[in-house]
Amino acid sequence: AQSVTQLGSHVSVSEGALVLLRCNYSSSVPPYLFWYVQYPNQGLQLLLKYTTGATLVKGINGFEAEFKKSETSFHLTKPSAHMSDAAEYFCAVSEPGGTSYGKLTFGQGTILTVHP
């Protein structure tokens, strides 16, 4: 069974500082990996995803994430935080093929606060 762990339920940064949100996964096969963002009172929207190929993935709003198979990690980063980045972020994993095809397993979420 696959699982996702997001280290830190709350992360607080200053505007302009580096954003680092951590995600580790467990999966029996190399998974597909996703980061979603949820703004207050809204649904989730995709930030970026890794399926195959280049392990450094760039997403919307200046975010990127690197798939590290040896560390089973997919951490999300942004060089310079903006006030508009304040939201909850979810890491998710899906296993290719098999009966679980297409089903996402989500981490617990990390709330990002950005201070002026």
Task: Name which of 18 and 39 has its Cβ closer to other proteins.
Answer: 39
Task: Name which of 58 and 80 has its Cβ closer to other proteins.
Answer: 58
Q: Which two tokens stand for residue 92?
A: 């998710």
Q: Which residues bind other proteins (CB under 8 A)?
A: 4, 9, 32, 34, 36, 41-46, 49, 51-52, 90, 94, 96, 101-109
What DSSP character marks residue 30?
A: P
Task: Name which of 14 and 45 has its Cβ closer to other proteins.
Answer: 45
- 84 contacts: CB under 8 Å, gap ≥ 6: 61
- Given a contact cutoff of 8 angstroms between Cβ atoms, the answer to whether 20 and 75 are in contact is yes
